[in-house]
């Protein structure tokens, strides 16, 4: 009988590499991801650097450090604007590739994902087989760690090399060997630094006070009594003690999702009303997509490529009610465009989660105009089934005041 | 994974054969002789980028009664029809 064996796939500095794009020579210098652009309520938030290069780590800079302290440690630190939309796109592609081999993935953050190997062992011929298949599916260099617990797997992945996965003893998946799997995970973690706790976002601030108290390794942390840690650090101390002792919570894989996206290249940088018109066009096209299959939309992601290499902007919007009405969607989404820090060169709208099927509730007294609109919608639906999504279109003004006629209007799906 | 399609724009310029006079005004548009020039205007945009747009527009009436709007791309020298 097989039990949980967790594999961790780590792509170090994933967000930094995506943000650097084709300027990879930058990564040899002390470089850090700049704090995300303040938007709305985040204006008063602490300015913290994101992922840092190896050269920046040599100065003692780490992700999450305050910007002022990072610049004090390394005055020539280069800040790269983050690319959240690019990161989300590429990360989603990698997750789908892992899911294609049968892995039920739980993404922790971009560049770090775990999945349970035990169900795949027979399918791919053991742990080595699973790693080989995952490596081929990813088509990008990654580090693999395998261990009985998620945290130990993450720790193993940080010690692995691209061509040499790190497999912790006790991660065979056989129940008879599972008896002391926790003890073996604890033994494996014991000499490792407490800084590894930063892999868990809720514990990101814990390593610093621990190090100040002289607790350097996870073994020293595990040697404390849980009560002493709870007394000093509260619930975080208990969680950290459990992780250092080889335990962890169960994996919660994400539900397999569909990827539906529409994008609009804007001929010139736009903002304000023109951007709202572009958003309206994207909403119409998204709702007209055949893959929606009459379902409502629960959550979407708006993203944009900003002008003058200003990086990207990304905002997730969860609707209060699952919607399939373009007018209500426009009302809900348009205010978010005001949070964009700069004009956009491209605008994208992606479905993150679908709701239930859309249904029309009939009124007691039938309104002739509504009945006519319903007949029109049905006719459009039938025309689309027969002739494709372009069977019914309408002219949508994108930039009616443009001096260039070809920029004024586009053809968008007709919504009755 | 879905296929992302681009928008279908309207009023896309199309190439047109134009014989122009020395002052740049069209004399013949698509083998039709120009009877009158109704209006002419200059449009410049994106001059701050690597791909500036400079167009000299002409609204003309041909002898067969057609009203045409053509422009010359001042960067490439080519003529286009736009309606």
For A260-274, write each residue's pLDDT tens digit: 888 888 766 666 777
Give the percent of chain A with pLDDT over 70: 90
Among A115, A28, A14, A9, CA closest to A63: A14
pLDDT of A34 above 80: yes
What is the model's pLDDT at position B54? 92
Cβ-Cβ contacts under 8 Å, A265 against chain B: 6
Tokens at residue A408, please?
A: 């004024």
Among A257, A288, A301, CA closest to A413: A288
Q: Residue range A206-221: average pLDDT?
A: 91
pLDDT of A416 above 80: no
pLDDT of A45 above 70: no
Q: What is the 3-state secondary structure (H, E, C) of A156-175?
A: HHHHCECCECEECCCCCCEH
Beta carbons of A221 and A241 less than 8 angstroms apart: yes
What is the model's pLDDT at position A1? 41
CB pairs under 8 A between A and B: 50
What is the model's pLDDT at position A42? 44
Beta carbons of A221 and A194 less than 8 angstroms apart: yes
Q: What is the 3-state secondary structure (H, E, C) of chain B?
A: CCCCCCCEECCCCEECCEEECCCCCEEEECCEEEEEEEEEEEEEECCCCCCCEEEEEEEEEECCCCEEEEEEECCCCCEEECC
- ipTM value for the complex: 0.80
Is B53 an 8 Å CB contact of chain A?
yes
Inter-helix orientation angle A181-189/A235-244, to 10° = 100
Beta carbons of A312 and A85 less than 8 angstroms apart: yes
User: Which residues 54-83 in chain B show a CB within 8 A of chain A?
Assistant: 55, 82-83
- Which pLDDT band, with edges at 50, 70 and 90, does A170 fall under? low
Q: What is the pLDDT of residues A332-373, one digit of tens each?
A: 998 888 888 888 888 889 988 888 887 655 566 667 887 888
Whole-model pTM?
A: 0.60
Min distance B69 CA to chain A CA atoms (Å): 11
**H-type alpha helices, A40-138:** 54-57, 67-73, 84-99, 121-124, 126-138
* Separation of first and last alpha carbons in chain B: 37
Bigger pLDDT: A132 vs A389: A132
Domains of chain A, earliest start first: 260-357 (3.30.1490.100), 368-413 (no CATH)
What is the model's pLDDT at position A218? 92
Enclosing H/E stretch for A238: helix A235-244
Burial class of residue A126, CB neighbours in 10 A (0-12, 13-18, 19+): middle
Q: Residue range A210-239: average pLDDT?
A: 90
What is the model's pLDDT at position A40? 43
CB–CB contact A264 B10 (8 Å): no
What is the model's pLDDT at position B33? 93
DSSP strand E in A245-343: where?
A: 260-270, 295-306, 312-323
- Which pLDDT band, with edges at 50, 70 and 90, does A5 fall under? confident
CB–CB contact A406 B13 (8 Å): yes
Beta carbons of B71 and B82 less than 8 angstroms apart: yes
CB–CB contact A406 B43 (8 Å): no
CB–CB contact A406 B9 (8 Å): yes
What is the model's pLDDT at position B3? 38
- Which pLDDT band, with edges at 50, 70 and 90, does B59 fall under? very high
Mean pLDDT over all residues of chain A?
A: 83
Is A410 an 8 Å CB contact of chain B?
yes
Q: Are strands A260-270 and A166-167 parallel, antiparallel or unpaired?
A: unpaired
**H-type alpha helices, A264-412:** 273-287, 326-337, 368-387
What is the model's pLDDT at position B1? 36
Least confident of A42-51, B49-58, B71-80: A42-51
SS3 A8: strand
- Which pLDDT band, with edges at 50, 70 and 90, does B48 fall under? confident
Rounded CA gap, B53 and B51, in Å?
Answer: 7
Rounded CA gap, A347 and A278, in Å?
Answer: 8
Beta carbons of A70 and A61 less than 8 angstroms apart: yes
Nearest CB to A404; choose among B2, B4, B43: B43
**Which site among A309, A406, A413 would you substitute to test the B interface, given the most B Cβ atoms closer than 10 Å to its Cβ?**
A406
Q: Residue range B57-76: average pLDDT?
A: 92
CA angle (A234 as vertex; A230, A240 as ends), nearest 5: 70
Least confident of A187-191, A365-369, A394-398: A365-369
Nearest CB to B2; choose among A261, A395, A409: A261
- Which pLDDT band, with edges at 50, 70 and 90, does A44 fall under? low
Least confident of A70-74, A143-147, B46-50: B46-50
Min distance B30 CA to chain A CA atoms (Å): 21
Is B51 an 8 Å CB contact of chain A?
no
Is B14 an 8 Å CB contact of chain A?
no
């Amino acid at each position: 009988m097989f039990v949980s064996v967790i594999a961790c796939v780590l792509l170090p500095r994933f967000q930094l590499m995506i943000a650097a794009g084709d300027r990879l020579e930058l990564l040899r210098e002390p470089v850090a991801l700049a704090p995300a652009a303040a938007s709305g309520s985040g204006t008063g938030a602490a300015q913290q650097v994101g992922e840092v290069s190896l050269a920046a780590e040599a100065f003692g800079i780490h992700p999450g450090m305050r910007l002022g302290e990072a610049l004090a440690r390394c005055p020539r630190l280069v800040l790269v604007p983050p690319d959240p939309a690019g990161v989300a796109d590429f990360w989603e592609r990698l997750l789908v590739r892992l899911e294609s081999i049968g892995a039920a993935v739980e993404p922790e953050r971009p560049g770090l994902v775990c999945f349970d190997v035990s169900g795949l062992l027979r399918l791919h011929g053991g742990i080595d087989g699973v790693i080989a298949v995952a490596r081929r599916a990813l088509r990008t260099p990654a580090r693999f760690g395998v261990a009985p617990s998620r945290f130990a797997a993450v720790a193993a992945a940080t010690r692995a090399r691209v061509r040499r996965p790190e497999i912790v003893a006790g991660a065979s998946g056989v129940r008879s060997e599972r008896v002391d799997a926790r003890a073996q995970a604890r033994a494996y973690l014991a000499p490792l630094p407490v800084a590894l706790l930063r892999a868990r976002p809720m514990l990101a601030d814990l390593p610093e006070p621990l190090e100040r108290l002289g607790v350097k390794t996870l073994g020293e942390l595990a040697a404390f009594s849980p009560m002493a840690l709870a007394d000093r650090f509260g619930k975080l101390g208990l969680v950290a003690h459990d992780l250092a002792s080889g335990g962890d919570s169960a994996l919660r894989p994400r539900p397999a999702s569909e990827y539906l996206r529409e994008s609009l290249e804007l001929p010139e940088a736009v903002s304000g009303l023109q951007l709202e018109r572009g958003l309206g066009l994207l909403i119409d096209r998204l709702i007209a997509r055949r893959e929606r299959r009459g379902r409502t939309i629960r959550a979407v992601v708006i993203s944009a490529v900003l002008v003058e290499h200003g990086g990207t902007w990304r905002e997730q919007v969860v609707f209060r009610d699952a919607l399939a009405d373009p007018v209500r969607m426009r009302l809900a989404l348009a205010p978010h465009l005001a949070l964009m820090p700069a004009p956009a060169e491209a605008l994208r709208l992606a479905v993150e989660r679908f709701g239930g099927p859309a249904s029309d509730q009939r009124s007691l007294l039938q309104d002739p105009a509504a009945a006519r609109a319903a007949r029109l919608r049905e006719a459009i639906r039938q025309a689309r089934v027969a002739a494709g999504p372009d069977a019914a279109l309408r002219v949508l003004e994108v930039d009616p005041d443009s001096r260039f006629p070809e920029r004024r209007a586009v053809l968008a799906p007709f919504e009755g | 994974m879905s296929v992302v399609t681009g928008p279908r724009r309207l009023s896309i310029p199309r190439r047109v054969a134009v014989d122009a006079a020395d002052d740049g005004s069209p004399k013949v548009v698509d083998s039709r002789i120009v009877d009158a020039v109704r209006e002419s205007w200059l449009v410049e945009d994106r001059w701050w980028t690597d791909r500036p747009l400079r167009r000299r527009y002409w609204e003309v009436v041909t002898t067969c009664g057609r009203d045409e709007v053509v422009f010359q791309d001042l960067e490439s020298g080519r003529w286009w029809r736009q309606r």
